[in-house]
Amino acid sequence: MTKVRELYVREGAASNFIAKQCLWLGVDNPEPSNPHVSIDSSANEYFYPRIKTGYGMEQQKIIYHMECDDAHLNEETKRIVVVMQSVNEYVFNLRPEHNYGAKNAEVQARRMEVNRHHIIEKIDRIWKDEWTMAYSSFWDWAEWGKLSGNMVKVEPSILDDIEDIKKYFLKCKEYYYSVCSRHGWDNIKISHACTIHELPGFTPPNNFTSATMFCDTNTAIFVAVLLEIKRGELGPRFEEFCKTIRDDWQLDPTNGHLREEIEFSDVSIDYRKIFFENDEDELRKMYNFFGTEYHFEMNKKDIIGEFWHYNNSNMALFKSHAPQLYNQLS
């Protein structure tokens, strides 16, 4: 039976570096024809494919050029794109970020808008399990303000459209798994969002195993600030972000989506142990999850050294741009 493996890693928590090491076994560039696969040494930032289908890039290329052979799904695709355009226009006019209590609400709203446009423009490719972390851009905003008592008011017809879109994404996921199974391909994926949040109503197939990269609150603060640094989001706004980040309830692993992700996942991998402590057993656990423990055992010393070097470079970046917060966290 084919296997499906998914690791959930929040933004900024080394998902691309992990993809290089665990999915592609340290290869500098598994896809030479892709100009987006790169390493930015100045920001210690990696850009790597985070989905591996079958044995490697050959299977990825086959899927890339494959067309959907499910007539019903093709008809659904033509219909749903109109619904998506309607929801996108509604959100644009509603401006739900004004109800949201988060510090970066406007930034999140703009990213969601970009994600919705991307899905609408690439709708024929969405079944290929691409851009799944952007699915929720069609509905996450509908609950903004819930915790503060200033929840967004949404037209019932739009809520119906959102449910329609969710069902379409579920059909795409099912079809994608069926294609992989038909060809005897395993599917390994690293994503920023847990599947149950990407796809509410998702029922894992029997061959499905998931893991979460656990971050305690202080580690989550480190990761969130590091993400802003690597994005180049510096200046006065960044300074204010560093001052208030400790108050961000979204970073607490006992709350909301993070708690649900931990409860859903079969395996928990600790970011602190992997990167700060360079723990050999925790690294082995992660490689074992991906089914590449043989590579870890054969190259253990070099792998541990690369994870140590990666974290040290991140620490240096953090210290140079947020020295006061660095001292507090240290």
| 161 vs 138: CA distance, rounded Å | 10
Is the pLDDT reported for residue 94 higher than 70? yes
Query: Closest Cα to residue 209, out of 180, 189, 183?
Result: 189
State the pLDDT at residue 290: 95
Percent of all residues in the chain with a pLDDT value above 90, rounded to a whole number: 55
Q: Which of 39-43, 91-95, 107-111 has the lowest mean pLDDT?
A: 39-43
What the block records as the tokens of 120 is 């609408």
Q: What is the CA radius of gyration of the chain?
A: 20
SS (H, E, C) 263-275: HHCCEEEEHHHHH
Is the pLDDT reported for residue 146 higher than 80? no
Write the DSSP symbol of residue 98: G
Task: Give Cα 110 distance to the centre of its chain.
Answer: 17
State the pLDDT at residue 24: 92
Name the one residue in this structure whose structure tokens are 């640094």.
Answer: 229
pLDDT band at 138 (very low <50, low <70, confident <90, very high): very high
- String of DSSP letters for 182-210: HHT--EEEEESS-HHHHSTT----TTEEE
- String of DSSP letters for 38-71: EEETTTTEEE---EEETTSHHHHHHHHH-----H
DSSP β-ladder status, 267-270 and 208-214: parallel
Contact present, 59 and 53 (Cβ < 8 Å)? yes
State the pLDDT at residue 140: 85
DSSP β-ladder status, 208-214 and 38-40: unpaired
State the pLDDT at residue 314: 95
State the pLDDT at residue 193: 84
Is the pLDDT reported for residue 36 higher than 70? no
What average pLDDT does this structure show over 94-120? 82
Contact present, 214 and 222 (Cβ < 8 Å)? no
What average pLDDT does this structure show over 129-153? 78
Is the pLDDT reported for residue 114 higher than 70? yes
Contact present, 133 and 140 (Cβ < 8 Å)? no
**Tens digits of residue pLDDT in 244-261:** 887 776 777 777 778 889
Contact present, 176 and 2 (Cβ < 8 Å)? no
Q: Does domain 4-54+186-329 have CATH number 1.20.1050?
A: no
Q: Within 10 Å of residue 103's Cβ, how many Cβ atoms? A: 16
Mean pLDDT for all residues in the chain:
88
Query: Closest Cα to residue 261, out of 164, 130, 136?
Result: 136
pLDDT band at 64 (very low <50, low <70, confident <90, very high): confident
- String of DSSP letters for 127-168: GGTTTGGGGGGGTGGGGTTTTTT-PPP--HHHHHHHHHHHHH
**Tens digits of residue pLDDT in 269-319:** 999 999 999 999 999 999 999 999 999 999 999 999 999 999 999 999 999
**Entry pTM:** 0.86
What average pLDDT does this structure show over 97-126? 83
What average pLDDT does this structure show over 101-106? 68
| 281 vs 294: CA distance, rounded Å | 14
Percent of all residues in the chain with a pLDDT value above 70, rounded to a whole number: 93
Q: Which of 11-25, 73-87, 93-107, 226-240 has the lowest mean pLDDT?
A: 93-107
State the pLDDT at residue 41: 73
Task: Give Cα 2 distance to the centre of its chain.
Answer: 23
